[in-house]
Structure 1
Amino acid sequence: MNQQPSTPFRFRFRVRYGECDAQGVVFNARYGDFVDIAVNEYIRVLFGDYQRLLDQDLDFQVVSFTVNWKAPARFDDVLEARVRTGRIGNTSFTLHLEFYRYSDGQFIADSSITDVMIRPSSMSKLAVPDSIRARLEQGAPGVLISHAGEDGLP
């Protein structure tokens, strides 16, 4: 079983006006975008430029995606996605995300996404290579990437 350190990879971003619905909260479908962006940042930290994977004829495809909402997020909130690697199977792996409001630590939502490893040239699945497995198991403890500009706030 994967035993990552307690400090996960963290990605911060700001909720934009267009991501909110008529109720003034983040529209539920936008969490798919939030997960995708956070996962891409995590993958970039683990493997470098995404093109490196593609150059090896390696890629991932989503096969399962769930979100559970706990509290609303609103326009201009800074959210922090915390990403950890979960189960790594023969051909797939699961990532777990938790979203918190940065200003007060409010737990907003959690999500799980399972990807299957594929060979893009044939669009066929393959076993997770040992080098990929090792980096997923290690994770990116303590790494923080921010697109929110929160450091400039008073």
Structure 2
Amino acid sequence: MSQVWSAPVRFAECDMQGIVFNAHYLVWADEALTPWWVEQGIDWSAYRGHQYVVVASTLEWRSSARHGDTVTVDAALEKLGRTSLTVRFEIRVGERLCCTVRTTYVCLSDGASTAWPDDLRARLAA
């Protein structure tokens, strides 16, 4: 797993107690996804006609991020299926785990679920 995204916690992401509102953890996972694809060597512009969409996300909290903290998001492939994959995002402040987000994406072509392209699948499986 490698760090793929980092940012300071902004005031607008927090409640009145200075604790990050839960929906922002999903935003941070989404922010980390693009650099994760790049880290895998995958350029989505080469896959015209294919796209990926979220089908499910789960969140497990361990501690809170607060205004003034810097969060880092580490991403790793957790499961690779024929038409779907799950990425695990670990959101931390320093070494302290705040939240684990697991998001499952499905590959689409012409609006229908389809197998991941062979070369993309090979890169992810490596």
**TM-score scaled by structure 1?**
0.75
Instruction: Give the structure with the larger strand fraction.
Output: 2
Cα deviation, residue 100, structure 1: 1.2
Cα deviation, residue 43, structure 1: 1.4
Cα deviation, residue 57, structure 1: 1.3
* Structure 1 segments unaligned to the other structure (5+ residues): 1-7, 139-154
CA distance in 2, matches of 1:34, 1:50: 20
User: What's 2:40 paired with?
Assistant: 46
Cα deviation, residue 49, structure 1: 4.6
Cα deviation, residue 33, structure 1: 0.6
CA distance in 2, matches of 1:51, 1:77: 34
Q: For each residue in 1:42-79, what CA deviation from the matched residue of structure 2 results, as whole angstroms up to 9, or x when unmatched?
A: 113324554333xx211101001011111010112111
- Return the match for 2:71 from 45, 67, 79: 79
Q: Which amino acid aligns with 1:83?
A: A
- Which runs of structure 2 are paired with 1:110-129 in the superposition (5 Å)? 110-119=100-109, 122-129=110-117
Cα deviation, residue 17, structure 1: 1.1
How many corresponding residue pairs?
A: 125
- Return the match for 1:15 from 4, 9, 14: 9
Question: Which fold has the larger relative contact order, with Cα–Cα distance below 8 Å and residues 6 or more apart in sequence?
Answer: 1
User: What's 1:143 paired with?
Assistant: none
- Determine whether 1:67 maps to 2:59: yes
* Structure 2 segments unaligned to the other structure (5+ residues): none
Contact 1:64 1:115 in 2 (8 A): yes
Contact 2:26 2:101 in 1 (8 A): no
**TM-score scaled by structure 2?**
0.90
